[in-house]
Amino acid sequence: MSPTPPLPVCLGDYERLAAARMSPMAQAYVEGGAGDEITLADNRSAFDRLRLATRVLRPMDGASTALTLLGLNLDHPILLAPVAYHKLVHPEGEIATVQGAGASRAPMVVSTQASTSLEEIAAAATSPLLFQLYVQPDRAFTLDLATRAKAAGYRALMVTVDAPASLRNREQRAGFRLPPGVSAVNLAGLPAPTLTGSAIGESPLFSGLLTGSPTWADIEALRAACDLPLILKGILAPDDARAACAAGADAIVVSNHGGRVLDTLPATIDALPRVAEAVNGAIPLILDGGVRRGTDVLKALALGASAVMIGRPYIHALCAAGAPGVAHAIHLLRAELEVAMALTGCARLADIDRTVLW
Which residues, in sequence order, are bridge partners of residue 308?
A: 78, 287
CA atoms of 333 and 108, how far apart (whole Å): 15
Work out the widest C-alpha separation in the chain, in whole angstroms: 72
CA atoms of 222 and 227, how far apart (whole Å): 9
CA atoms of 64 and 291, how far apart (whole Å): 20
Q: What is the dihedral of CA 313, 318, 324, 329, to 10 degrees?
A: 0
Q: What is the DSSP letter of 307?
A: E
Query: Of 76, 90, 257, 316, which residue is the catalytic one?
Result: 257
Q: What is the DSSP letter of 355?
A: G
> How distant is the alpha carbon of residue 326 from its chain centre?
15
Give DSSP secondary structure letters for 244-293. Answer: HHHTT-SEEEE--GGGTSSTTPPPHHHHHHHHHHHHTTSS-EEEESS--S
Annotated catalytic residue 76: no
Where in the sequence numbering do the catalytic residues fall? 257
